[in-house]
Structure 1
Amino acid sequence: MAPAPARAIAVVLLTFVCCGCTMAADKAPIKWLRAHATFYGGADASDTMGGACGYGNLYSAGYGTRTAALSAVLFNDGAACGQCYKIACDRKLADPMWCKPGVSVTVTATNFCPPNNALPSNNGGWCNPPRPHFDMAQPAWEKIGVYKGGIIPVMYQRVPCVKKGGVRFKIEGHDYFNLVTVMNVAAAGSIKSMDVKSSDSNDWMSMSRNWGANWHSLANLTGKMLSFRLTDTDGQTVEFNNIVPGGWKFGQTFASKQQFK
């Protein structure tokens, strides 16, 4: 059988349902949900660089090859950027010929899989609403699926992100427009809100999500020592005081020693 592209094999549309739960200590049950998964980016994931979250080079940003582009229902206009998902082949629905049973892989959301309204959602329009779908980096997908299969039904659950080192902040833009990319976030992985404070002020100023994991401020902060306050999508707030030293330049990245837990 010749290799098939990620979006080229017809499957039955599955709904967004819970198919089993695991219980974490002192926490609500973690639901396993159904979706489908395809792959893109090549055997070395080189074509997954960039993406709709704005992380740029995923190797140097620390995300590597275990990443995925999410369909619209999961991507949530960028609010899911940085979230982590454990994914496994759906043993009840998958053809064992194309599925690697008994294994799972954890990926980080780094990109958006756009809908293709020219194709039916069960035959090429895999990321059309309301489908939950993961277009995974090929090396991650091949942990759970056989390359020639192209697309497989999967089970998934959102899980805490485990990251090495602290949160990273990359600053770009110009005077009166500071665009900050927030990377390498552990725990929830995704950021709900962000504030900035400069060395010449005692007040926090709210920042707005510009796109993906990029947040902007319209104040003139050029060269000033900066602090950031982040609240993740699970409600945890962490302050990164004086993380950006005075005299910084656009294009620089600053790594903190703090991390979400």
Structure 2
Amino acid sequence: MALFHVKQSIVFVLVLLFLVHSCYCFNPKLLNVSMVQAASNWSPAGATWYGSRTGAGSDGGACGYGTAVEQAPFSSMISAAGPSLYKSGEGCGACYQVRCTSNAACSGNPVTVVITDQCPGCTSESAHFDLSGTSFGAMAKPGQEEQLRNAGVLQIEYTKSQCKYPGRTVTFHVDAGSNPYYFATLVEYEDGDGEISSVELKQATDSDSWLPMQHSWGAVWQLNSGSLLRGPLSLKLTSDGSGETIVAAGVIPADWQPGKTYRSLVNF
């Protein structure tokens, strides 16, 4: 019997050692690492609001979107940005999630906003959002929107997010100053990164040559060709974040007119 008990003990120890070395057990340190990584996606920023209390801030502001900021899909959920996010206009169209927990009226829930304007005086923090009254109030607990708007400068958190405009394609609004030798267009409703790193133009008479356009201001890109531009014109856009490229083939018709808006069939 003694020998039997010894054998049992040896077997038990061997099984225990096997489990210790092979078990994929819960490790709180691994959980802490993943939580830190998730938290690191959020960065601190300052937040204020401007315009009417339930409005869209200004009418389009420095990005050039005009009254479109009040309408779907923007729906007044927009923000002016300090220099680090506005990026001299190249940050126009970028989408961010913002949330606040620093005030009793904060819900802590993230809301998505689009950069549509510049806040040149917002330099006190590394990042600053001057939100519309609508988007600022959206960070509040239900029924406490006014309390939050009266709080002054808030400390918030933000993270870059993907833009999503269901049912929308990239749209080009031809600048009113365009002519047969100079073409400028506002680019709107880009899914994905929302920021454009380059825009190129191709004429109908030149099937292989893409002409680089220059960033003009806000969300406007321009080409001063010096020669007659022959439509229809195609436009190639490259996303700043992913590097993905899309082509809006023949999106600007041969009889295009300044001030008109032309919708493509593509998006990121």
Aligned residues: 220
Query: Would the aligned equivalents of 1:40 and 1:47 in 2 still touch at CA under 8 Å?
Result: yes
Larger helix fraction of residues: 2
Residue by residue over 1:190-226, the C-alpha shift from the partner in whole angstroms, topping out at 9 and shown as x without a partner, is: 1000000111112110000001110001125556201
Call closer, same or farther: CA 1:221–1:141 in 2, change over 3 Å: farther
Q: 191-200 or 58-67, which moves further after superposition?
A: 58-67
Please give the residue correspondences for 1:74-85 in structure 2 after superposition, counting only pairs within 5 Å.
Answer: 74-85=85-96
Deviation at 1:45, TM superposition (A): 1.9
Residue in structure 2 matched with residue 228 of structure 1 by the alignment = 235
Matches of 2:126 and 2:250 in 1, distance apart? 43
Question: Of 225, 234, 247, which aligns to 1:239?
Answer: 247
CA shift for structure 1 position 41: 1.6
CA contact under 8 A between 1:73 and 1:129: conserved in structure 2? no
C-alpha separation in 1, matches of 2:78 and 2:50: 10
Partner of 2:212: 206
Q: Whole-Å Cα distance in 1 between the matches of residues 228 and 265 of structure 2? A: 22
Q: 2: CA distance between counterparts of 1:144 and 1:103? A: 7
Paired letter, 1:226: L
- Structure 2 equivalent of residue 100 of structure 1: 106
Provide the C-alpha distance between the structure 1 equivalents of 2:252 and 2:204, rounded to a whole number of angstroms.
10
Q: Which amino acid aligns with 2:232?
A: M
For residues 153 and 44 of structure 1, the distance between their equivalents in structure 2, rounded to whole angstroms, comes to 21
CA separation of 1:137 and 1:108: change in aligned 2, threshold 3 A: same
Structure 1 portions without partners, runs of 5+:
1-18, 23-28, 116-126
Which residue pairs with 1:109 in the alignment?
115
**Bigger Cα Rg:** 2
1:161 aligned partner: 163
Could you say if the C-alpha distance between residues 150 and 209 of structure 1 is closer, same or farther in structure 2, counting changes exceeding 3 Å? same
CA distance in 2: counterparts of 1:37 and 1:20, whole angstroms: 24
- Alignment RMSD (CA, Å): 2.0
Corresponding position of 1:64: 75
**Contact (CA 8 Å) 2:204, 2:230: kept in 1 or not?**
no
Task: Work out whether residues 160 and 189 of structure 1, in 8 Å CA contact, stay in contact via their aligned partners in 2.
Answer: yes
**Paired residue for 1:217?**
223
Query: Within 2, Cα distance between the matches of 1:47 and 1:153?
Result: 20
Report what 2:265 is aligned to.
257
The DSSP-based 3-state class of the residue aligned with 1:174 is coil
Alignment TM-score, normalising by the size of structure 2? 0.77
**Partner amino acid, structure 1, of 2:188:** M
Matches within 5 A, 1:134-149: 134-145=129-140, 146-149=148-151
2:246 partner amino acid: V
**Higher share of residues assigned strand:** 1
In structure 2, do the counterparts of structure 1 residues 102 and 47 end up closer, same or farther at CA, with 3 Å as the change threshold? closer
2:4 equivalent in structure 1: none
Q: 1:237 is matched by which residue type in structure 2?
A: T
Aligned amino acid, residue 207 of structure 1: M
Q: Tell me whether 1:39 sits opposite 2:34 in the alignment.
A: no
Give distance in 1, aligned partners of 2:126 and 2:185.
31
Letter in 1 for 2:48: T
SS in 1 for 2:205: coil
Match of 1:133 among 128, 131, 139: 128
Q: 1:238-258, CA deviations, whole angstroms, 9 ceiling, x for partnerless residues?
A: 111111122111111111121
**How many Å apart are 1:65 and its aligned residue?**
0.5
Whether the 8 Å CA contact 2:83–2:118 is kept in 1: the answer is yes
Secondary structure of 2:61's aligned partner: coil
Q: CA deviation at 1:32?
A: 0.4
Q: Which residue of 2 aligns with 1:51?
A: 61
Distance 1:100 1:60, change over 3 A: closer
Contact 2:57–2:133, Cα closer than 8 Å, also in 1: no
- Partner Cα distance (2:160, 2:57) in 1: 25
8 Å contact kept, 2:56–2:132: no
Question: Could you tell me which residue of structure 2 aligns to residue 179 of structure 1?
Answer: 184
Q: State the identity %.
A: 29
